[in-house]
Amino acid sequence: MNRRQFLKSALFTTVGAFLLKTTKVIAAETKKLIEKVSTKKYRNLNISAIGFGLMRLPQKNGEPDVTRTQAMVDYAMEHGINYFDTAWYYHGGKSELTVGKVFKKYPRSSYYLADKLPLRILGGKDHVLQVFEEQLKKCNVYEQLSQKKKEGKIKYLGFSIHDTPELLEEVIKTYKWDFVQLPINLIDWEKTDSSGWYGVNAKKQYEIATKAGLPVVVMNPLKGGQLSTLNQAAVELLKKENPNVSPSSWSLRYVASLENVFVVLSGMTEMEHMVDNVKTFTNFKPLTEKEQKVLSNAIAVYKSSGAITCTYCQYCVGCPIGIDIPKQFNIYNEYKADNKKDKFIAAYESVKAGCRAQDCISCGICKPKCPQKLDIPSLMKEVAKTYKELKNA
Amino acid sequence: MTKQKVIYYIRLFISALVLICSFLAFTTTFSFFAKFFSIQLGAGIASLIAAFSVTTLVAVLLVLLCTYLFGRFYCSLICPLGIMQDFINFATLKKSRNYKNFYKTRYTIAAIVFGALFSGWAVGFKILDPYTNFGLIASSIFSPIYNIISKTDNYQFTLASIAISLIPFIILIFLVLFRRRIFCTAICPVGTLLGLFSKYGFFRLQFTDKCITCGACFRNCPAGSINLKDKIFDNERCVRCLKCVSVCPKQAITYGVSKKDKKNTEQHFSQGRRNFVLGSVLVLGGIAAGVGGAIVRGKKFLQDTVRAILPPGAGNYNRLSSKCTSCQLCVAVCPNKVIHPRDFSHSNIYMDYSNGPCMYSCNECSKVCPTGAIKKISLQEKQHLRIGLAKIDRELCIACGICAFKCPAKALSIDEQEDGNRILVYNAAACIGCGMCQVACPHKAIEIVGIIEQTKI
């Protein structure tokens, strides 16, 4: 190697190294440029105001699709979402397994994970207060959990509940909790109104939790996606006010604006949902008073359409007759949203004969399973009646 | 009378006894005889797959071990269809010629049948299992005759079920007239399995030097297992009917440990490497066809959930149709005649409450099912197993309360309201779908509907 060659290669190496360094710096800078979603303070933790609910993951062959879930979780982590919520029951037990796979690459300290015990498996499925109380004592759930908390395996102990304000109050009174997870959305905000909606009185539940000093995690903010589709009239009202945002963002902002709410969970199935939610929670702004009125109006319009308040959570599966209850309600609700008669009839008839709404024998085995407290047999009759009328018309 | 003839008549006597007991099991409700069928080999093997139990495994292994030691005595002493073929042959007085060894046919059939069975589909057994066919023939053809003679209404037969059972019966008579026990040596999958175990068996029938080659044994052998030229028996096909022993004028056939005679050890009936290779190809092909058939069926036809009222322990419709061989034993033992035989509109047995309910204190069908298609469940388990649900027509119901009085599961009750109105309250969570209410209701307001899966409550 002569001097000239030495100089030449030295020059190339320097330039190469410099270029590499610059690229890295630029990449890092770009990464920094990604705007993170807004956070809220819970104790000394900074938690993203939007959480990722893992009950409605993208599916492949009836099981959570790990690849697509991974992409969504990556996007979420990148944008600062750090609260994830799963449970034993979700996706027939597969949600927790998916969590195990998808979060492997992230350090445990970089995200918060909420999981729930399957009370129904622990013993009995009755919703009755005494049984629930007894269960807690019998299974030693609370004592054991608080023990785990002392051991450091549980950081914060909360509970998730779909029930009446009375039961909520009872549970809060009986034990010491760190937070509570409640189903809150505008449809359920007030108790049953004259149009026959089966609200769970979320307002009262929120007030009870706030009074007890328990921060609230909100689940079901979009009522199983109903608040992201609404019906045409309601969507028009919202678009008139702000044509650039989705209906979901309205409802999410509504619940996130509540003072005592520190994280809003949203079950997301598609990447679009994730992108839209991240957009909503980046530089989060609470709903103004005017906006609240617009939203309330839109919800009232939607409610008057007569859709069933099923969130398609699948808790009711196992109909002995073989009726896919959420599917039947979904078909009905889509009709209530778009009023397309032929589409409704076609969708209704695409279900296997013998497993349609009209085949319900009103045995009521599904009723205690419904967290929304729907009177499924009578609603099923309503679906069947609608079909019969439209068919004969 | 020679000693040989006495032995033959003893064998005939035992066979006749077994045949009569088998007929009684299928035509009457003596479930004592029905239990006897748990030692049936084909049903036993099917039951190992449907509902494994050590007892069944021991029974199956014992039969196979004895077959290795003593030969296919099973076919002439235990198998009711085999004995029935002897009887048909005797009754028709037909003497047929000897026939060749259909080993390719039987290996292929057995491979397909067992391949499908081990992949969870008992279709081969439904068509070819000797015990199943006997059950069909006995219960659907002879039972009605018995009923007419004894003037009892003991069996829910229909013209369709009789017609379906006539098909195997006619084919069987034809086969017997044509070549006597050709079913056992060329078709029956259970026989083929037994043959493989007895092929190199321990005790065999053999010719002694007293043989004068008169050919009496050859002409009388129903299984075509005698090679007169080389004076040897094909132990794989010999069903131990002992006819040859009894007809031999010189008493030249003995039964004993196989001699290390070159003639006996050599394969005179399916000799050569070529045949072995061909046989292997057929067997492997047959297994592949059976397994493939079961998989295709599973993918194509078992996806659907079917709603049906099934005998308690059957699980669901797909399970039953995979495991049940339609032997109809449950139909025969059901005391209330709720279980009906298969007919043109039902490919399996089915339940119908039009004549009575499934009795709360009875689990006979589960006790006798030899294939495990109806799982063995205790009476207590049966009383907590939902097999159907009640559909109540509120417009017909007058809340008289008879159903509530009769319901053994306490799922129905009458609620007297403040205004004096009475309403029928149905607690589906406690209902097991026994049909008592449907039968009791004077206004036909209750109907039990099938469910997709039997569930414990």
Contact list, B429 vs chain A (CB under 8 Å): 365
Domain total of chain B: 2
Q: CA triplet B310, B314, B320: central angle to 5 degrees?
A: 90
Tell me what ipTM this predicted complex has: 0.71
Given B242, B265, B288, the domain boundary residue is B265
Q: Provide the pLDDT for residue A78.
A: 86
Q: Provide the pLDDT for residue B219.
A: 84
Distance in Å from the first CA to the final CA of chain B: 65
The domains found in chain A, sorted by start residue, are: 39-303 (3.20.20.100), 325-392 (no CATH)
Give the C-alpha distances (Å, rounded to integers) separating A79 from A26, A218, A347. 18, 20, 38
Place of tokens 């590499």: A20
> CB pairs below 8 Å between A and B: how many?
35
d(CA B149, CA B275): 53
Q: Burial of A74 by CB count in 10 Å (0-12 exposed, 13-18 middle, 19+ buried)?
A: middle
Contact list, A363 vs chain B (CB under 8 Å): 389-390, 426, 428, 431
Contacts of A140 (CB under 8 A, 6+ apart): none
d(CA A298, CA A134): 43
% pLDDT > 90, chain A: 8
d(CA A62, CA A72): 18
| Domain co-membership, B254 together with B402 | no
pLDDT beneath 50: ranges in chain A: 124-129, 131-132, 135-136, 138-139, 193-197
Pairing type for strands A63-64 and A59-60 reads: antiparallel
Contacts of A196 (CB under 8 A, 6+ apart): none
Is the residue at B320 inside a domain?
A: no
Stated pTM of the model: 0.70
- Domain encompassing residue B238: 3-265
Which of A352, A355, A363 minimises the CB distance to B389?
A363
Given B214, B243, B265, the domain boundary residue is B265
Phi-psi region of B259 (alpha: psi -120 to 50; beta: other; left: phi over 0): beta
Q: Does A378 touch chain B (CB under 8 A)?
A: no
d(CA A41, CA A189): 24
| Domain co-membership, B393 together with B251 | no
Mean pLDDT across B431-450: 92
Q: B93 versus A278: which is more confidently predicted?
A: A278
Assess whether pLDDT exceeds 90 at residue B437.
Answer: yes
CA atoms lying within 13 Å on the CB side of residue B256: 8
**What b/e sequence results for B219-257 when a residue is b if at least 16 CB atoms lie within 10 Å of its CB, and e otherwise?**
bbbbbbbbbbeebbbbbbbbbbbbbbbbbbeeebbeeee
- Calculate how close chain A gets to B454, using CA atoms only, in Å: 9
Report yes or no: A112 and A84 within 8 Å, Cβ to Cβ. Answer: yes
Contact list, A361 vs chain B (CB under 8 Å): 389-392, 449
DSSP state of B408: T
Do residue B451 and residue A364 have CB atoms under 8 angstroms apart?
Answer: no
Contact list, B390 vs chain A (CB under 8 Å): 361, 363
- The beta strand positions in B235-370, using DSSP E, are 253-257, 339-340, 350-351
B391: domain CATH number is 3.30.70.3270
| Domain co-membership, B244 together with B392 | no
Band of the pLDDT at B417, cuts 50, 70, 90?
Answer: confident
DSSP state of B28: S
Do residue B428 and residue A352 have CB atoms under 8 angstroms apart?
Answer: no
d(CA B196, CA B72): 10
Q: Burial of B136 by CB count in 10 Å (0-12 exposed, 13-18 middle, 19+ buried)?
A: buried
**Residue whose C-alpha is closest to residue B237's, from B72, B388, B116, B391:** B72
Mean pLDDT across B309-328: 86
Do residue A361 and residue B455 have CB atoms under 8 angstroms apart?
Answer: no
- Calculate how close chain B gets to A352, using CA atoms only, in Å: 9
- The beta strand positions in B325-439, using DSSP E, are 339-340, 350-351, 385-392, 412-416, 422-426
- In tens, the pLDDT along B131-143 reads 888 888 887 777 7
Q: Which residues of B touch A (CB under 8 A)?
A: 304-305, 307, 386, 389-392, 426, 428-429, 431, 449, 451-453, 455
Contact list, A364 vs chain B (CB under 8 Å): 426, 428
Q: Does A322 touch chain B (CB under 8 A)?
A: yes
Band of the pLDDT at B454, cuts 50, 70, 90?
Answer: very high
Is the residue at B299 inside a domain?
A: no
Is the residue at B335 inside a domain?
A: no
Which residue out of B299, B305, B438 would a mutagenesis test of the A interface target, given it has the greatest number of A Cβ atoms within 10 Å?
A: B305
Residues B315, B320, B324, B329, Cα dihedral to 10° = 60
Is the residue at B312 inside a domain?
A: no
Contact list, B389 vs chain A (CB under 8 Å): 320-321, 361, 363, 365
Q: Which amino acid is at B215?
A: G
- In tens, the pLDDT along B325-371 reads 888 888 888 888 888 887 777 778 889 888 889 999 999 888 888 88
Between A289-293, B97-101, B111-115, B435-439, the lowest mean confidence (pLDDT) is in B97-101
Contact list, B452 vs chain A (CB under 8 Å): 320-322
Which of B305, B428, B453 minimises the CB distance to A363?
B428
Q: Which amino acid is at B362?
A: C
Q: Does A126 touch chain B (CB under 8 A)?
A: no
Is the residue at B282 inside a domain?
A: no
Is the residue at B215 inside a domain?
A: yes
**In degrees rounded to 5, what are phi and psi of residue A390?**
-65, -35
Given B265, B290, B308, the domain boundary residue is B265
Quickly list DSSP for B169-195: HHHHHHHHHHHSTHIIIII-HHHHHHH
Is the residue at B73 inside a domain?
A: yes
Altogether, the residues listed in chain A come to a count of 393
Q: Provide the pLDDT for residue A300.
A: 83
- In tens, the pLDDT along B12-65 reads 999 998 888 888 887 776 667 776 676 788 888 888 877 788 888 888 899 899
Which residue out of A361, A366, A376, A381 would a mutagenesis test of the B interface target, given it has the greatest number of B Cβ atoms within 10 Å?
A: A361
Look at the alpha carbons of A77, A80, A83, A85 in this order and tell me if their dihedral is positive or negative.
negative
- In tens, the pLDDT along B175-223 reads 888 888 888 888 899 898 898 888 888 888 888 888 888 888 888 888 8
Which of B304, B389, B426 minimises the CB distance to A320?
B389
Quickly list DSSP for B89-112: HHHHT---------HHHHHHHHHH
Interface of A with B in 302-321 (CB under 8 A): 320-321
Interface of A with B in 135-174 (CB under 8 A): none
Is the residue at B311 inside a domain?
A: no
Do residue A363 and residue B305 have CB atoms under 8 angstroms apart?
Answer: no
d(CA B363, CA B361): 7
d(CA A10, CA A12): 5
Do residue A361 and residue B429 have CB atoms under 8 angstroms apart?
Answer: no
Contacts of A158 (CB under 8 A, 6+ apart): A114, A177, A178, A179, A180, A181, A214, A217
Contact list, A365 vs chain B (CB under 8 Å): 389, 428-429
Q: Does A92 touch chain B (CB under 8 A)?
A: no
Q: Does A233 touch chain B (CB under 8 A)?
A: no
% pLDDT > 70, chain B: 90
Which of A321, A364, A365 minimises the CB distance to B307?
A321
